[in-house]
Amino acid sequence: MSYQGILQQVKDNNNKVEKLKKHNEPKDRGFGKSKRKCRRCGRRGRGIIRKYDLYYCRQCFREVAENLGFKKMD
Ligand SMILES: [Zn+2]
C-alpha cells in the first residue's frame, strides 16, 4: 500500500500520523526512478522510456507509438 493510502487509514490518530511521517515519509530525491514520471498517465518507477526524451511508460508507449511515427518491425 502506498504512503498516501496509509496516511488516509491512520488520519484520526494523531500519534500514528506523526510516527508515520517521521519514519515513512518519502524522500524528495534529486535523481532516481521516483523522480521520473510518465508524461501521459503519471506512472512512476520501472518501465519509463527515456530514450529520445520520450518519458512515456511502457504501457502508454505501446498505445501512442504509432502516432509518434514508430513502426512495428518483425
Ligand atoms: Zn503512462
Tell how far the Cα of 37 is from the centroid of ligand 1, in angstroms.
8
Q: What is the pLDDT at residue 53?
A: 93
47 secondary structure, DSSP code? T
| Residues with Cβ–ion distance below 5 A, ligand 1 | 38, 40-41, 43, 57, 60
Cα–Cα dist 35/68, whole Å: 24
Q: What is the pLDDT at residue 3?
A: 86
Tell how far the Cα of 43 is from the centroid of ligand 1, in angstroms.
5
Q: What is the pLDDT at residue 55?
A: 94
pTM score of the predicted model = 0.64
Tell how far the Cα of 33 is from the centroid of ligand 1, in angstroms.
14
Per-residue pLDDT of the chain (74 residues; tens, 9 = 90+): 788 899 999 999 999 999 999 998 888 888 888 889 999 998 888 899 999 999 999 999 999 999 999 998 88
Say whether 43 sits in a helix, a strand or coil. coil
Sketch the domain layout of the chain as residue ranges.
1-30, 32-65
Cα–Cα dist 71/15, whole Å: 55
Q: What is the pLDDT at residue 20?
A: 92
Helix %, strand %, coil % of the chain (to 5): 45, 10, 45
Tell how far the Cα of 65 is from the centroid of ligand 1, in angstroms.
12
